[in-house]
Homo-oligomer: A and B are copies of this chain.
Amino acid sequence: MPKAKYEQIFQYLKEKIESGQYAPQALLPSEHTLIAELDCSRNTLRRAVGELVRIGYVQTMQGKGVRNIFEPAQQATFTLGTIESFAESAARNHWRGTSEILLFSELTANAALAAKTGFDEGTPLYYIQRLHYLNDRPLIFNHSYFRQDVARGLTREIAEQSIYRYLENELHLSIINSKRVVTVEKATLLDLQYLDMGDCNCLAVVSSQTYNSDGVMFEYTQSRHQPNFFRFQDNAVRRPVAQSRSV
């Protein structure tokens, strides 16, 4: 099943850049040239190039061209803008990722949990604690809460395989987007017990709220990362100051 054309072109150019087929700091072929070469419309090519800008591979300059600013060293550890499971992330970085379930339970959101997660108080939830290993080192402690009415029938056995595959393939849940916030927090006793913290007493925390196509937030996950193996990457562009519009 072939994907969208702009996505294919994006991947094609991305791999061409990564493999050094465009010289560093050099300009890519012009839009006109690439359109002819790839047999697509201008909009389609521009969309693909826009994605390359977002991931920091190129910079575009009106009147000049598109410059390759990719640098091999800085491979992203955790990517931005796309939802990726731990297994997918590990594979992309050529790591050996394994997981262990420490706790599988059911509970009801009390006031404190509701405030933290964004679920309504009284919502029945599954609560799962998972420990993720990269190359046999325990590096991520995961606290996940799933709404029972959405992730219905979730079991410890399923969680040991893949929760997302169950949600998408068995329950036909369509996962749309995930709001994520990165913060730094003091390590808890649980963190110190399970993660190899060295002499750090803080860790990187990625809190994410995930939504389905009904607009309901069905998952709240807090990923607590051992600091030395945490890396979050972004590319920002300079824009003129924003201004409102009267309609």
Interface status of A162 (Cβ within 8 A of chain B): no
Q: Output the least CB separation between A28 and chain B (Å).
A: 12
A199 vs B233: C-alpha distance when bound (angstroms):
27
State the majority secondary structure of interface residues on A: mixed
Mask of A33-54 contacts with B, CB within 8 angstroms, 1/0? 0000110000100000000011
- Shortest A89–chain B CB gap in Å is 12
Q: A238 near B83 (CB under 8 angstroms)? A: yes
Binary per-residue interface labels of chain A (172-186) against chain B in the complex, 1 for a CB within 8 Å, 0 otherwise: 001111111111111
In the assembled complex, which residues on chain B have CB atoms less than 8 Å from the CB atom of A238?
82-83, 175-178
Interface residue tally for chain A (C-beta within 8 Å): 68
A9–B240 alpha-carbon span in the complex (Å): 15
Question: A8-B245, A181-B74, A242-B3 given as contacts; is B213 within 8 A of A61 (CB)?
Answer: yes
Chain B CB within 8 A of A235 CB: yes
Name the residue of chain B whose CB is nearest to the CB of A200: B202
Residues of B within 8 A of A231 (CB): 181-183
Question: What separation, in Å, do the CA atoms of A235 and B8 have in the docked complex?
Answer: 23
C-beta contact mask, A66-102 vs B, less than 8 Å → 1, else 0? 0101010010000011110000000000000000000
* A-B contacts, 8 listed (Cβ < 8 Å): A11-B245, A82-B236, A176-B237, A178-B235, A180-B235, A181-B233, A182-B233, A184-B203
Extra contacts, 4 of them, besides A82-B237, A202-B202 (Cβ < 8 A), are A11-B242, A53-B177, A80-B236, A179-B235
